[in-house]
Amino acid sequence: MSLFEERRGLYAIVDPAHTGARSPLELAEAIVAGGPALFQYRDKTQSDRDRLRLGRELRTLCRRAGIPFIVNDRLDLALLLGADGAHLGQEDLPIEAARRIAPSLPLGRSTHSVEQARAAAREDHAILGFGPVFPTKTKERPDPVTGLDVLARLRSELPLPLVAIGGIHLDTIGEIARTGAHYAAVISALADADDPEAMTRALHLRFIEALSANAQG
C-alpha cells in the first residue's frame, strides 16, 4: 500500500503568499499541531534560498509529528529536503522527465478535467489532485469549477487516490468525503482561521466522520 493509499482526511497546504496575519512557520506549527493527514509546502513567490530555509523548518515540523511532507512543483527542492513526495501541476515537468530526476519519489499531479485525470492515471503517479470542486480565491486565474458529481465519477473509475482541491471549507469538506475521495486539500480556510490548530482538527474530523458515515450507510 502506498503512502497516499494508507491515509485519509485533510491535506493541509501552507503557502507563504496565503498565511493571513501569521508567518508561514507560525501557521505551519499550528496546522501540524492539529494533525492533518498530509502536509504540503507550496511556494511560488519566495527566492530559492528562502524556499530551502523555510522548507527545512517545515520538514522538521512534519517529521517530529509523523506527518508526510510533500513539496509542490519543485522536484529539486523536494529531493534536497528529503520530502516524502512531490506534487506537480499541469505546467510542470511531464512524468518521463520527472522520473529521470526522481526515479522513486511518490509523485502527485493536479488535474482539472476528466481527460487530464484519465491521462495522468495512466502514468506513473501515486495520487491525483482534481478540481477546483468549488470556486476558489487562491488562484488568480482558476480553472472552471468541476463539481462533486465529476469527482465522485472519477473516484469510482480511477485506481489512484484522489485529492479534491479548490474552495473547500468546514461546511463542504464532508461532501468531499462522501464522494469517496481520499483527501481534501485546504489552504484558505486554514490561513484565514482565528485558530488554525482547532480548524485543522475540525476539518480532519469532519472528513473522517463523513467518510465513516458513508461507509456505514
Residue 3 confidence (pLDDT): 87
pTM: 0.96
Question: 102-120: per-residue pLDDT in tens?
Answer: 999 999 999 999 999 999 9
The third-level CATH classification (topology) of the domain covering 9-216 is TIM Barrel (3.20.20)
Looking at the predicted structure, is the pLDDT value of residue 140 above 70?
no
Give the per-residue pLDDT at 217.
Answer: 63
How many Å is the Cα radius of gyration of the chain? 16
pLDDT digits (tens, 9 = 90+) for 168-216: 999 999 999 999 999 999 999 999 999 999 999 999 999 999 998 877 7
Domain boundaries, the chain: 9-216
Q: Provide the pLDDT for residue 143.
A: 79
pLDDT tens for 49-99 read 999 999 999 999 999 999 999 999 999 999 999 999 999 999 999 999 999
CA distances from 26 to 11, 12, 30, 55, 195 (A): 18, 14, 6, 13, 11
